[in-house]
């Protein structure tokens, strides 16, 4: 049963990537460099500073000033790369992500996105999650900036749910 779930997941992931692997703007939209972040009144919380940092390339993380454009880019990437398995408010194939930026350090979240296999092989918190779900997270090929954009989107969403 687990093998079938994994095969189905890989097939769905491959289909999703083949259908739309490029969440970048099309040529008819305003180029990103011409867009100016509009000030928002949303107050986003600080990232969790203490706790497990995970295993991977991200050793430390300095919280940037909130930028709506970065969170919007993260939202687009989240829709394309993550929603097959995750939702903000409820479990799917993977855990619900509501409150994740309040429970986990940004380093841990980024390392999970960027170094998925090793995290699920060696990190105690990732191993505990693995026991709770039939399917294991697979790498979706994010680079560091894309992962940081998704992280900023998750922080924005968590700010809405106090």
Helices 144-160 and 106-114, packing angle to 10 deg = 130
**What is the chain's mean pLDDT, rounded?**
80
CA angle (6, 10, 16) in 5-degree steps: 145
User: Which of 136, 64, 138, 43 lies closest to 106 in space, CA to CA?
Assistant: 64
Q: What value does the mean pLDDT take over residues 77-104?
A: 93
Q: What value does the mean pLDDT take over residues 110-128?
A: 95
* Two structure tokens written together for 131: 């026991």
CA angle (88, 156, 119) in 5-degree steps: 60
User: Is the model's pLDDT at 70 over the cut of 50?
Assistant: yes
**Among 5-19, 36-50, 96-110, 146-160, the least confident range:** 5-19
- Where are the chain's structural domains? 2-20+47-160
What is the fold, at CATH topology level, of the domain defined by 2-20+47-160?
Answer: Cytochrome Bc1 Complex; Chain D, domain 2 (1.10.760)
pLDDT recorded at residue 79: 96
User: Which of 110, 98, 106 lies closest to 49 in space, CA to CA?
Assistant: 106
User: Is the model's pLDDT at 118 over the cut of 50?
Assistant: yes
Cβ–Cβ < 8 Å for 74, 153: yes
Cβ–Cβ < 8 Å for 103, 48: yes
């Amino acid at each position: 049963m687990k093998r079938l779930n994994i095969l189905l997941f890989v097939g769905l992931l491959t289909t999703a990537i083949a259908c739309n692997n490029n969440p970048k703007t099309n040529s008819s939209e305003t180029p990103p460099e011409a867009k100016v972040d509009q000030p928002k009144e949303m107050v986003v919380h600080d990232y969790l500073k203490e706790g497990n940092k995970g295993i991977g390339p991200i050793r430390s993380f300095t919280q940037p000033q909130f930028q709506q454009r970065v969170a919007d880019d993260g939202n687009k990437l989240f829709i394309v790369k993550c929603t097959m398995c995750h939702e903000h408010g409820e479990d799917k194939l993977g855990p619900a992500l509501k409150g994740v930026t309040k429970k986990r350090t940004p380093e841990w979240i980024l390392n999970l996105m960027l170094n998925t296999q090793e995290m699920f092989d060696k990190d105690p918190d990732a191993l505990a999650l693995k026991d709770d779900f039939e399917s294991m997270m697979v790498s979706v090929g994010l680079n560091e900036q894309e992962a940081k954009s998704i992280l900023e989107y998750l922080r924005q969403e968590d700010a809405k749910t106090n």
